[in-house]
C-alpha cells in the first residue's frame, strides 16, 4: 500500500457513511430508534476513519495537492462543490459530536433540533466527498 491508495479508501468510507446516514434517517422516520442509533454510530465511525486517512494522506503528501484536470464549465462545477464542501466539512466536525452528545445524554428534544441542522450538512459533505474523489481521480484526472 502506498499513499496513492488512500484517496479511493477515503471515497469508499465517505460512500459508506452516506449509505449509513441514509439508512439511519429512514429508520428514525419509521420509528426504529435502535436501528437509527446503530446506523448513525456506524456512520460516525466511518467518517472518523475517513478523517484519519485524509489527515494521513495530506501529511504524507506534505502540502502537495492533486490538480483538477477538467476545463470549461465543469471546472466551475467542481470548484463550487469543493468550495462548499470544505467549510461544511469543518463545520460537521463540531456539529456531529454535539448532536451525538445530546442523544447519548437522552436529551432527545435538543438532539432532534440539532439533527435537523446537522443531518443535511453531514449528508451533503459525505456525498460531495465522493464526488470530489470522482472529479479528481476518475472523471477528469490531471494529465499534465
Give per-residue pLDDT as tens, 3-12: 888 999 999 9
Say if domain 3-139 classifies as CATH 1.20.120.80.
Answer: yes
Please count the other Cβ atoms lying within 10 Å of the Cβ belonging to residue 59. 10
What pLDDT does residue 59 have?
87
Nearest CA among 87, 106, 99, 84 for reference residue 24: 99
What are the phi and psi torsion angles at 141 (to 5°)?
-70, 150
Contact call for residues 95 and 122 (beta carbons, < 8 A): yes
DSSP state of 68: B
* Cα distance between residue 97 and residue 130, in whole Å: 22
Kindly indicate the confidence band of residue 122, based on its pLDDT and cuts at 50, 70 and 90. very high
Prediction pTM value: 0.90
Give per-residue pLDDT as tens, 16-56: 999 999 999 999 999 999 999 999 999 999 999 999 999 99
Is the confidence at residue 143, as pLDDT, over 80?
no
What pLDDT does residue 84 have?
97
DSSP state of 105: T
Cell output for 30: 419509521
Nearest CA among 70, 74, 49, 75 for reference residue 137: 70
Give per-residue pLDDT as tens, 52-107: 999 998 888 887 778 889 999 999 999 999 999 999 999 999 999 999 999 999 99
Amino acid at each position: 500500500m502506498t499513499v496513492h491508495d488512500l484517496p479511493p479508501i477515503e471515497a469508499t468510507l465517505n460512500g459508506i457513511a452516506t449509505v449509513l446516514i441514509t439508512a439511519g434517517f429512514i429508520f428514525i422516520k419509521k420509528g426504529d430508534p435502535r436501528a437509527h442509533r446503530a446506523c448513525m454510530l456506524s456512520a460516525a465511525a466511518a467518517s472518523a476513519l475517513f478523517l484519519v486517512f485524509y489527515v494521513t494522506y495530506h501529511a504524507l503528501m506534505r502540502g502537495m495537492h492533486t490538480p483538477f484536470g477538467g476545463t470549461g464549465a465543469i471546472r466551475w462545477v467542481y470548484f463550487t462543490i469543493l468550495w462548499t464542501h470544505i467549510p461544511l466539512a469543518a463545520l460537521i466536525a463540531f456539529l456531529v459530536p454535539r448532536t451525538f452528545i445530546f442523544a447519548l445524554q437522552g436529551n432527545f428534544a435538543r438532539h432532534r433540533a440539532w439533527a435537523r441542522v446537522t443531518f443535511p450538512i453531514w449528508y451533503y459533505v459525505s456525498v460531495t466527498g465522493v464526488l470530489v474523489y470522482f472529479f479528481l481521480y476518475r472523471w477528469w484526472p490531471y494529465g499534465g
